Structure 1
């Protein structure tokens, strides 16, 4: 790969990590010069990375004002939720068709350990939950689906930055939902895996909106039978 492409990819990855870690305030313009100095990279790859991150929905470029971390609206959250229903529902279906991987089995073991405790470590459970979703996509053996999920995952993470804390009861419920999805994958029941994923995502979306205090119309989830 040419050196210019390597520098651009490196700038993209590092700036994206900074954005996802909440490094920048919402009203803080991202300076090409300061990022170039901070990352020890040229301004051209930094500029290209900022444009790419804007195309991927993580940044917003305001002419004459600068580049900022994108502030997600209710419509953004709705679109992310609807796309997650499509992609992650398909991932659960395909994973169940192919059967569980070692990575998914490890996640299930960790989730059971978390669930068995009298009190739940919310941060730990959230991290294992994200890993579960990642492993579910890997279990599909579909590289294009994994690639499509990568950007969606980043936008979901950006939305989660607004939530100062997670509800322990909802977190414990999410752990159980992940284990239910895994049980369907283990049983190689793709329809049940897909339905359970849809229910999990819809419950998570409702909890997120409640935590953000969003005022919104009713959002359709999915049709079809319940498993």
Structure 2
């Protein structure tokens, strides 16, 4: 079926983009992508459209699509947006999340820990994304859930970079478990504190990699 092929194409290209196999800032040659990943023209176009809608790609009219690049300024703005959105979401989730949703979150956190410890980097990134989406589901607000999913799509390549270089995988797993624990106890303030710390730690880890403030003229302080 065409839809199934399009889904498979989407999954293949999403992984290639997140892992850096397809580089950012370089126009995509659809013929080469089609041949390299053995994807037919129609499912390829559908997959590219979906990736553009999810902000993985920039695709201007009459120009080839390009994987979105992330500058230092983008990184700060992304962190700023996540703080505003995800703190509000987790506060609602701490009040509204069901026991079944808490149990699912716990399973996802366990799977994330296992992926991190086994070195399954891409799988860990997708599980991290899933966990944040499940927190948003606990808020029982479809609009906020969509917003979190959309916003964090822009973080996946950054998370992959982080997970590819970190050695303290237990610490990363523990930070995610802290989010689940706060939600399980329905402690609104603990949940808010945990997500703020989590997002700030993610930013600081990224800054240690390959971003330089002197190229952009931004203050390094997180305010």
Q: Common fold, TM-score beyond 0.5?
A: yes
The answer for unaligned runs of 5 or more in structure 1 is 115-119, 222-227
Q: Is the 8 A contact 1:36 1:46 kept in 2?
A: yes
Displacement over 6 Å in runs of 4+: 62-65
Question: Structure 2-normalised TM-score?
Answer: 0.72
**1:109 Cα offset (Å):** 4.9
Give the corresponding residue for 1:57.
Answer: 55
Give the corresponding residue for 1:218.
Answer: 220
Distance 1:29 1:161, change over 3 A: farther
Give the corresponding residue for 2:159.
Answer: 160
Give the corresponding residue for 1:204.
Answer: 202
**Cα-to-partner distance string for 1:19-42 (whole Å, 9 max, x where unaligned):** 234331336431234456642243
Q: Is the 8 A contact 2:95 2:188 kept in 1?
A: yes
Q: Is the 8 A contact 1:95 1:137 kept in 2?
A: yes
The answer for unaligned runs of 5 or more in structure 2 is none
Q: Is the 8 A contact 2:10 2:48 kept in 1?
A: no
Q: Is structure 2 residue 21 aligned with structure 1 residue 20?
A: no
Give the corresponding residue for 2:66.
Answer: 68
Distance 1:174 1:16, change over 3 A: closer
Q: Is the 8 A contact 1:174 1:200 kept in 2?
A: no
What is the total number of aligned residue pairs between the two structures? 209
Q: Is the 8 A contact 1:11 1:46 kept in 2?
A: no
**1:11 Cα offset (Å):** 8.8
Question: Structure 1-normalised TM-score?
Answer: 0.71
Distance 1:213 1:80, change over 3 A: closer
Q: Is the 8 A contact 2:25 2:69 kept in 1?
A: no
**1:62 Cα offset (Å):** 7.1
Cα distance in 2 between the residues matched to 1:147 and 1:198: 20
Q: Is the 8 A contact 1:53 1:59 kept in 2?
A: yes
Larger Rg: 1
Give the corresponding residue for 1:225.
Answer: none
What secondary structure does 1:72 align onto? Answer: coil
Cα distance in 2 between the residues matched to 1:164 and 1:188: 29
**1:70 Cα offset (Å):** 1.7
**1:174 Cα offset (Å):** 2.7
